[in-house]
Structure 1
Amino acid sequence: MFLKHVPSGDLVEVIDLPDVINPGSPTVRARAHTGEIIQRPENFLKTELAFPSGEALPQCWSDAHYYEHAAA
């Protein structure tokens, strides 16, 4: 899965997909795709990631208390 790192505008390839949908994990292990050299995996904050189209990640992927807020 590819996501966009909003501050840099680069695409990142997600390595650990379960981290993306786990609301308890604030970071995602991914590899930046910049240039022709394969980059080393690093942790990216979910708050700085979006879908390649620019759409934000679903709130339920980053907020463990999403359902409590939705019910209020």
Structure 2
Amino acid sequence: MKGVSSMFLKEKDSEVLIKIMDLDPLINPLSPVVVGRSQAGEEEQDPEEFLKADLCFPSNEGLPRCWLDAEYQSPQSP
């Protein structure tokens, strides 16, 4: 994601937009959390941690499996 410095995701339950400031933990499947700023209210909120499993794209599409599961390309066990 070169050239992109931040992006917006949405909390699944509250539907509040979250501004993700550092994209490296977002695309790292070994990192279960990201730091972002909730966009609820008129003032910018303090940074806080959000579980990636609780986030989706604003279109309600889920995050790519390769961002969530480090074993996504491993062969399935029988």
Shared fold, TM over 0.5: yes
Q: Larger helix proportion, structure 1 or 2?
A: 1
Aligned length: 70
Gaps of 5+ in 2: 1-6
Equivalent position of 1:64 in the other structure: 70
Q: Cα offset for 1:37?
A: 1.1
TM-score scaled to structure 2, two decimals? 0.86
- What amino acid maps onto 2:31 in structure 1? S
Larger Rg: 2
Deviation digits for residues 26-70 of structure 1 (CA, Å, limit 9, x no counterpart): 0011000001011000000000000000000001101000001xx
Q: Distance in 1 between matches of 2:36 and 2:44?
A: 12
Q: Distance in 2 between matches of 1:16 and 1:42?
A: 12
CA distance, structure 2, for counterparts of residue 52 and residue 46 of structure 1: 14
The alpha carbon displacement at 1:16 in A equals 1.1
Aligned-residue RMSD, C-alpha:
0.7
Partner Cα separation in structure 2 for residue 15 and residue 56 of structure 1: 19
Runs of 4+ in 1 over 3 A off after TM superposition: none
**% of aligned pairs identical?**
50
Of residues 12, 15, 19, the one that matches 2:18 is 12
**Partners of 1:45 and 1:8 in 2: CA distance:** 13
